[in-house]
Amino acid sequence: MGRRTNLALLAALSAAFATGWLAFAYATAPARWSLVLHATTGFAILVLVPWKSIVIRRGVRRRRPGRPASVALGVLVLASLLGGVLHATGLLRWWGAYTAMELHVGAALLAVPLAVWHVLARPVRPRRIDLARRTLLRQGATLAVAGAAYGASEAAVRLLRLPGQERRFTGSYEAGSFQPELMPVSSWMFDQVPVLDPARWRLRVSGPSGVREWTYEELMAYDDRIRAVLDCTGGFWSGQDWSGVLLSRLVPEIGAGRSVRIASHTGYDRRFPAGDLSRLLLATRLGGRPLSPEHGHPGRLVAADRRGFWWVKWVVHVEVEGLPHWLQLPFPLQ
């Protein structure tokens, strides 16, 4: 019984973790489906709590070494669950300088090493009987109850008219659309805002046909416009009018199979397929005004239909490469 509870928890935790990242990878429809699975597997952890508490009581009596780490794991998983529900209902969206979404993902990330340790230190060996019909039915029932709990929470958000009903399909909340000064500022993880002198800043475009450096003044002469939604993994979205120059004007025709790496002054970078160039804007203005340092002055990328972490700020280098665009980590480590 305890064994099966632990295995079910392992499955639910892994699925919640994987589907959370899957949702972050999309700014389009699959994000919704990943999140339905995500919330259901997240709620399944709560459904398993009564059974797990029996395992825990037994385990605590055995006084095994490393118990505080197991307790810390419990605290982090519960904190992550709480952060997820607070974000989704909108009951609390900010906690000091952090969004509930940032706390949600942060607690889940901190829990990973503890969870790995916990499973290795208290191994549970799967048995054939775990695939027996009765066991599978029981796991199915757990998922069904979790799905119903998720459905009920979504219905409650609407009935009670909680702020959560305003969420976009990615789970993000609108913020400061078409009011650039109200648009929240955020960066992926560790980037600090640099203050760059536009007179000395250069955009270096390099590829097989050579290197060309563009000045700020030269780029400001372009007025390509894109209206796009920046959907940040921190949990907000903002629609804005951006202007600048389409990358297809700066980069000569490149063959399929090649990619373009866009790098920031901070070293942060992302790689895009060649076919995206005509849709990628190197923005120099937001709402008709020069960018602020926080939003990427002198130039930042606008990558419509991609989550915010693709919108590289403080761009200094556009590099055509022979590598395929998918040859990169799905999420930056910086």
Distance CA 30, CA 250 (A): 32
- Comparison of 24 and 268: residue with beta carbon closer to ligand HEM: 24
- Rounded least distance, CB 26 to ligand HEM, Å: 10
Of 15, 26, 70, 297, which lies in the binding site for ligand HEM, with binding defined by CB under 6 A? 70
- Those residues whose C-beta lies under 8 Å from the C-beta of residue 221, and which sit 6 or more positions away, are none
- Evaluated on CA atoms 28, 32, 37, 43, the torsion sign reads positive
**Residue 146's closest CA among 229, 223, 56, 36?**
36
Of 91, 92, 110, 124, which lies in the binding site for ligand HEM, with binding defined by CB under 6 A? 124
> How many alpha carbons fall within 13 Å on the CB side of residue 187?
20
Residue 225 in contact with residue 251, Cβ under 8 Å? no
- Binding status of residue 43 toward ligand HEM by CB under 6 A: yes
- Binding status of residue 23 toward ligand HEM by CB under 6 A: yes
- Binding status of residue 60 toward ligand HEM by CB under 6 A: yes
Site for ligand HEM in 84-113 (CB under 6 A): 84-85, 87-88, 104-105, 108, 111
Distance CA 100, CA 80 (A): 9
Distance CA 12, CA 307 (A): 25
Of 6, 142, 243, 259, which lies in the binding site for ligand HEM, with binding defined by CB under 6 A? 6
Residue nearest to ligand HEM (CB): 20
- Binding status of residue 73 toward ligand HEM by CB under 6 A: yes
- Those residues whose C-beta lies under 8 Å from the C-beta of residue 53, and which sit 6 or more positions away, are none
Using CB under 6 A as the criterion, which residues of the chain lie in contact with ligand HEM when the complex forms? Answer: 6-7, 9-10, 13, 16-17, 20-21, 23-24, 35, 38-39, 42-43, 45, 55-56, 58-60, 62, 64, 67, 70-71, 73-74, 77, 80-81, 84-85, 87-88, 104-105, 108, 111, 118-119, 122, 124, 153, 167, 171
